[in-house]
Structure 1
Amino acid sequence: MSYLTQKTIKNKVSFSGVALHSGLNVNVSLTPAEPNSGIIFKRVDLDKNNLVYPNFMNVTNTSLNTTVENEFGVRISTIEHLMCALFGLGIDNVIVEIDNDEVPILDGSAKIFIKKIISAGIEVSNEPIKIIKIKKEIEFSDGKRFILIKPSTLSLDIDFELNYHNPIIGNQRNKVKVFEDDLTDIYNSRTFCLFEDIELIKKNGLAKGGSLENAIVVKDKEILNPEGLRNKKEFVNHKILDCIGDLYTSGYRIIASIKCSRGGHYLTNQLLRKVFQNKENFSILEIKEKSLPHTLINRNLLRSIA
């Protein structure tokens, strides 16, 4: 397989599940797409104006999920886990057919999405991939929370820190090289919440489909999920998963070094908006070199989860 040319899936693949916030059952099918078409969401429950592009400028909500919307008000929410899976497997082009406005949460991680995509197979084109190379240091902050992006030679490094008063979550930090490290723990890490926040979240009409089957729930010094954690840093690892998925709303893989403290969907989206305000901050390159120190796609993922 050539890792430097654009990819789509080889065969159509479908899955169904409950949506985390609406609580509705949703059906999704991924179908192959032509080179240079990108990721396209298609609301098959609507007859017109039903294409939604997961671009950072189309993000209209970042509270507890990432929601994108087209000019006609048609939206798709909770896209971040699927976007992370597509990024990790190097899928440049695919049509996501969906019969409602929220991507199913499945098990709360990217694990099932990745297995489904791998089962569909990967189709390689002759078109070179494109990457975004960050040229200047850019920071966005919101009180004590901040996210910073700066140039990197040929890697995407994410250094993420969590800071919770809860003794189970506490202060967690992890740093990964997205294209080189074994990211199995990242992609397998589930979304989480504090037990005391659930009532307020549900009062706001969210998390109607939430359960211990698709989220980690922490109450004081106890994890309510009977199976416990999947890895020691599952909380911060899930935040890195979200970050990767949100970064893919840039349209391409990114070469950069990112540092984030107490971040989430809002900070990542605001950072992208700030970066792309000025063309001097970045360049978009076609990758045609035959020999690179790594592949810009994480081959460990294909080996470890397949």
Structure 2
Amino acid sequence: MSILNQKTINKNITFKGVGLHGGLEVTMTLKPAVPNSGIIFKRTDLKKNNIIIPNIFNVSSALFCTTISNEEGVSVSTLEHLMGALFGLGIDNALIEIDNYEVPILDGSAKIFVEEILKVGIKTSSVPIKIIKIEKKIEFIDGNKKISIEPSKVSLDIDFELKYENTLIGEQRNSIKVYESDLSDIYNSRTFCLYEDVEKLKEMGLAKGGNLENAVVVKDNKVLNEGGLRNEKEFVNHKILDCMGDLYLAGYRIIGKIVCSQGGHKLTNQLLREVFENDQNFSLIEIKEKSLPHAFINKSNLRSIA
């Protein structure tokens, strides 16, 4: 079967942990799904109106995390790390059953999601994937923050820059090709914050489940976590992971080039809303055998299916 066909996981995977912001215990199970079903969340703690479909127009909040809601106001939040893992591994279809409103933060990265998916393996169907091909350059600017997307021949490139006054974080920039690059450092990079912001977040009713086991905390020029950073660009690499997860709310993998400076969940969502408000900006293409060169094939997909 072609690697350009739709994929799901081989069997159920259950994750247990706490939500980063709510601090509540949550159990979440990823289940295989049939082709063309996409990614679906189901709130098992509710008996009705409990289906939430990840979609850029379903984003109800992008403050410190991404939250999606259905028409009845039922939501799932902090889904960006999980969605980034699914996007990077090429998982097109999955049912995600969750018994609370927030995806477990685990270690603050996508590392555990990726490891557990690779353990059970990935199942390839006989149904071709669909991709979104960007046709025109679109840019969104909000003060000193900016993001753009433009056409690319066969890849999804993400060029991300962050700038912090904190001297340890400082200015970091990295660029990856999602379907070609080794994404290990991206998956492994954890969410982070400044020490002086921790109390502010808690006063806002956020970060109730946060600790040094699931977030990098920087105080002055020191990382407070035992063991320090996982890679030298962990801060910007985590931003790239977030960006991947938020991009997957488009519903399909994307062919295009993203350039972002000092962005986040809100900026990515605002850009995608502009893209999809005009069907001249993109094309939805079903990929047949040999429709794309091997550059489109993610190396991690090859490893997981081998």
TM-score (norm 2): 0.97
Structure 1 pair 211–302 and aligned structure 2 pair: CA distance change class (3 A): farther
Deviation at 1:183, TM superposition (A): 1.2
Aligned to 1:104, the other structure's residue is in SS state coil
Deviation at 1:300, TM superposition (A): 3.4
Give the letter for the 2:185 counterpart: D
Match of 1:226 in 2: 226
Deviation at 1:93, TM superposition (A): 0.5
Match of 1:16 in 2: 16
Deviation at 1:301, TM superposition (A): 6.2
Match of 2:216 in 1: 216
Q: Is the 1:253–1:296 Cα contact (8 Å) retained in structure 2?
A: no
Structure 1 pair 190–181 and aligned structure 2 pair: CA distance change class (3 A): same
Aligned to 2:162, the other structure's residue is in SS state strand
Match of 1:263 in 2: 263
CA distance in 2, matches of 1:123, 1:93: 10
Deviation at 1:132, TM superposition (A): 0.2
TM-score (norm 1): 0.97
Q: Is the 2:29–2:96 Cα contact (8 Å) retained in structure 1?
A: yes
Deviation at 1:123, TM superposition (A): 1.4
Give the letter for the 2:261 counterpart: S
Match of 1:287 in 2: 287
**Mind listing any 5+ residue stretches in structure 2 that lack a counterpart?**
none
Aligned to 1:208, the other structure's residue is in SS state coil
1:3 aligns with 2:3: yes
1:146-182 deviation line (CA, Å, top 9, x unaligned):
0000000000000000000000000000011111111
CA RMSD of aligned residues (A): 1.3
Match of 2:298 in 1: 298
CA distance in 2, matches of 1:237, 1:221: 19
Structure 1 pair 187–72 and aligned structure 2 pair: CA distance change class (3 A): same
Give the letter for the 2:105 counterpart: I
Give the letter for the 1:118 counterpart: L
Q: Is the 1:6–1:93 Cα contact (8 Å) retained in structure 2?
A: yes
| Structure 1 segments (4+ residues) deviating >4 Å | none
1:267-293 deviation line (CA, Å, top 9, x unaligned):
000000000010000000000032643
Match of 1:249 in 2: 249
1:1-306 map, 5 Å: 2-290=2-290, 292-294=292-294, 296-300=296-300, 303=303
Identical amino acids, percent of aligned pairs: 66
Aligned to 1:96, the other structure's residue is in SS state strand
Q: Is the 1:16–1:104 Cα contact (8 Å) retained in structure 2?
A: yes
Q: Is the 1:5–1:129 Cα contact (8 Å) retained in structure 2?
A: yes
Aligned to 1:84, the other structure's residue is in SS state helix
Aligned to 2:294, the other structure's residue is in SS state coil
How many residue pairs align between the two structures? 305
CA distance in 1, matches of 2:38, 2:185: 27
Give the letter for the 1:71 counterpart: E
**Mind listing any 5+ residue stretches in structure 1 that lack a counterpart?**
none
Q: Is the 2:181–2:299 Cα contact (8 Å) retained in structure 1?
A: no
Aligned to 1:107, the other structure's residue is in SS state coil
Give the letter for the 1:196 counterpart: E
Give the letter for the 2:288 counterpart: K
CA distance in 2, matches of 1:110, 1:191: 10
CA distance in 2, matches of 1:111, 1:293: 28
